[in-house]
């Protein structure tokens, strides 16, 4: 046999498997057990996003626990089950997961894992024409919820945004894949906010105006949240633009005089003001049955202000408790709603010198909050030409309107950047704890366990 013939035969013998080898990616793509429900379709991803427990109902509560809308009695403080909660309440230096397993960090990053997995899965789907609307919707929701989770955590675990120092300030670890074997480290604050803004801008381009459920994010929600993000960055121009865009899609306010103020849950779930449903993790210190509303805050409401009776109820011990959550019931709303967006627009207008327009937004909100007599409001429009007075009014009502929403912590931090000089004080069992304005403890410690396992940089303690 001639040598080349032999060569041919032998090449054939060897090359047959080799050529087959080249198509082996597909060959190995087959799942190892048909029973494994591998998320692949848009329906699968939507079902993961509809897991409201993980997506909507586990926002961080650490900021609210640290804030001054409420306080605890000594007995209630003593009875807190977790040392970590006590530590957050009096601005201590420890958050320990092995003490309190669930915290805003764990739930936030769990949400982010869901979103990352979905975004990776979507890359493998052809956004065909027939389903492009659903495809965009799912994709937009994943971007929205990732941004929301990052932003909520940034408020708790990062400094207030400052354009000057943002590229050196510590941000969050920006984990953008589902791979849990990669090494994580913290980005700077500029990158962190950039990520949040970018995600939300993508979401705005993808999401529908009217979702089928308020548990799902929408274009209005993305504008609203982005307005909040810019507000926290003190970028008032962009905050204004986004708040305005939001209100163009969704602008309804509730007339509080139509609500049943005697009810323990006077405000309905998914009411007309709600744009996106989200709430903080339920946790002992801010449980509505435990937390007592600050006396100063309660006393600051005018008697004709319906929020005084709709938001609060007298406790047997003479203090007041909160019952005005937009989540109806004990969960504390931290989602997006029109009342907040009006207040953002009003503040930005006032800060940008458009005082009259700003005051108009505030008055429009307050007329819906005021008592009516014989069908006519008792509210008299607030009027001023002074930017400072306008801003003061708007911020005063921002505080009174957005109680126990997780926003107070963000507000204190950003307003102190503007020179508001808000400092906090707690008295526990006779001992006084103070948190001066701009103190480093406005940035909470990252859970110790996370630092230990990841080696990432801890905030100054």
Binding site for other proteins (CB under 8 A): 1, 3, 6-7, 9-11, 13-18, 20-21, 24, 27-39, 44, 47-48, 50-54, 97, 101, 105-106, 109-114, 116-117, 173, 175, 178-181, 184, 213, 215, 269, 447, 449-450, 453-454, 456
Provide the 8-state DSSP code for 36.
Answer: -
Q: How far is the C-alpha of 155 from the C-alpha of 87, rounded, in Å?
A: 18
Q: Select 36 or 75, whichever has its Cβ closest to other proteins.
A: 36
Q: How far is the C-alpha of 10 from the C-alpha of 63, rounded, in Å?
A: 72
Q: Angle at Cα 290 formed by Cα 449 and Cα 284, nearest 5°?
A: 20
Q: Select 15 or 380, whichever has its Cβ closest to other proteins.
A: 15
Least distance to other proteins from the beta carbon of 398, Å?
28
Residues 6+ apart with CB under 8 A from 155: 60, 63, 232, 406, 409, 410, 413
Tell me the DSSP string of 160-218.
PP-TTTTTTSEEEE---SS-SSS---EEEHHHHHHHHHHHHHHHHHHS-SS-SSTTS--
Q: Select 49 or 231, whichever has its Cβ closest to other proteins.
A: 49
Least distance to other proteins from the beta carbon of 277, Å?
9
Q: Select 97 or 360, whichever has its Cβ closest to other proteins.
A: 97
Least distance to other proteins from the beta carbon of 165, Å?
24
Q: How far is the C-alpha of 405 from the C-alpha of 283, rounded, in Å?
A: 14
Q: How far is the C-alpha of 325 from the C-alpha of 274, rounded, in Å?
A: 11
CB-count burial class (<10 Å; 0-12, 13-18, 19+) for 83:
middle
Q: Select 179 or 303, whichever has its Cβ closest to other proteins.
A: 179
Least distance to other proteins from the beta carbon of 329, Å?
10
CB atoms within 10 A of CB 18: 9
Least distance to other proteins from the beta carbon of 336, Å?
17
Least distance to other proteins from the beta carbon of 289, Å?
20
Query: Using an 8 Å Cβ cutoff, are 90 and 113 in contact?
Result: no
SS3 170: strand
SS3 268: coil
Q: How far is the C-alpha of 211 from the C-alpha of 118, rounded, in Å?
A: 19
Q: Select 51 or 287, whichever has its Cβ closest to other proteins.
A: 51
Least distance to other proteins from the beta carbon of 284, Å?
20
Least distance to other proteins from the beta carbon of 104, Å?
11
Instruction: Name which of 94, 187, 208, 95 is nearest 144 in CA terms.
Output: 208
Least distance to other proteins from the beta carbon of 379, Å?
33
Q: Select 24 or 75, whichever has its Cβ closest to other proteins.
A: 24
Query: Using an 8 Å Cβ cutoff, are 460 and 446 in contact?
Result: no
| End-to-end alpha carbon distance in the chain | 83
CB-count burial class (<10 Å; 0-12, 13-18, 19+) for 287:
middle
CB-count burial class (<10 Å; 0-12, 13-18, 19+) for 127:
middle
Least distance to other proteins from the beta carbon of 76, Å?
28
Least distance to other proteins from the beta carbon of 173, Å?
6
Residues 6+ apart with CB under 8 A from 223: 204, 242, 243, 245, 246, 249
Q: How far is the C-alpha of 100 from the C-alpha of 447, rounded, in Å?
A: 10
CA-to-CA separations, 124 to 49, 112, 127, in angstroms, rounded:
18, 19, 9
Q: Select 241 or 451, whichever has its Cβ closest to other proteins.
A: 451
Q: Select 155 or 231, whichever has its Cβ closest to other proteins.
A: 155
Q: Select 215 or 370, whichever has its Cβ closest to other proteins.
A: 215
Q: Select 116 or 188, whichever has its Cβ closest to other proteins.
A: 116
Q: Select 16 or 380, whichever has its Cβ closest to other proteins.
A: 16
Least distance to other proteins from the beta carbon of 151, Å?
16
Tell me the DSSP string of 280-309.
BPP-GGG-TTTPEEPHHHHHTS-TTBTHHH
């Amino acid at each position: 046999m001639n040598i080349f013939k032999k060569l041919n035969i032998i090449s054939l013998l060897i090359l047959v498997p080799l050529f087959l080898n080249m198509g082996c990616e597909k060959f190995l793509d087959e799942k190892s057990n048909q029973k494994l429900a591998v998320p692949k379709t848009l329906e699968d991803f939507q079902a993961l996003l509809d897991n409201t427990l993980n997506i909507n109902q586990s926002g961080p509560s650490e900021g609210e626990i640290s804030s001054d809308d409420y306080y605890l009695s000594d007995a209630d403080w003593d009875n807190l089950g977790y040392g970590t909660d006590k530590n957050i309440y009096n601005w201590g230096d420890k958050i320990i997961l092995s003490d309190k397993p669930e915290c805003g960090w764990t739930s936030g990053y769990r949400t982010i894992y869901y979103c990352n997995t979905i975004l990776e899965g979507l890359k493998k789907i052809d956004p065909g024409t027939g389903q492009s609307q659903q495809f965009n919707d799912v994709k937009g929701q994943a971007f929205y919820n990732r941004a929301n989770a990052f932003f909520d955590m940034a408020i708790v675990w990062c400094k207030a945004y400052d354009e000057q120092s943002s590229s050196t300030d510590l941000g969050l670890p920006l984990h953008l894949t589902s791979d849990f074997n990669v090494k994580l480290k913290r980005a700077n604050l500029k990158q962190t906010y950039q990520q949040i803004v970018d995600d939300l801008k993508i979401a705005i381009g993808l999401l529908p105006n009217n979702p089928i459920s308020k548990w799902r994010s929408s274009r209005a929600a993305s504008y609203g949240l982005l307005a909040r993000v810019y507000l926290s960055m003190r970028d008032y121009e962009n905050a204004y633009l986004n708040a305005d865009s939001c209100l163009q899609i969704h602008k309804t306010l509730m007339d509080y005089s139509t609500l049943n103020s005697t009810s323990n849950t006077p405000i309905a779930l998914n009411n007309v003001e709600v744009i996106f449903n989200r709430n903080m993790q339920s946790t002992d210190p801010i449980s509505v049955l435990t937390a007592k509303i600050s006396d100063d805050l309660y006393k600051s409401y005018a008697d004709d202000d319906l929020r005084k009776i709709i938001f609060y109820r007298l406790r047997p011990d003479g203090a007041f408790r909160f019952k005005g959550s937009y989540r109806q019931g004990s969960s504390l709303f931290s989602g997006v709603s029109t009342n907040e967006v009006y207040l953002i627009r009003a503040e930005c207008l006032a800060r940008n010198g458009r005082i009259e327009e700003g005051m108009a937004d505030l008055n429009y909100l307050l007329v819906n909050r005021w008592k009516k007599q014989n069908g006519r409001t008792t509210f008299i429009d607030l009027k001023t030409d002074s930017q400072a007075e306008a801003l003061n009014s708007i911020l005063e009502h921002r505080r009174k309107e957005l109680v126990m929403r997780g926003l107070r912590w963000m507000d204190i931090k950003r307003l102190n950047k503007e020179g508001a000089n808000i400092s906090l004080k707690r008295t526990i069992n006779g001992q006084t704890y103070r948190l001066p304005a701009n103190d480093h403890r406005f940035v909470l410690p990252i859970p110790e366990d996370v630092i230990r396992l990841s080696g990432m940089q801890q905030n100054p303690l």
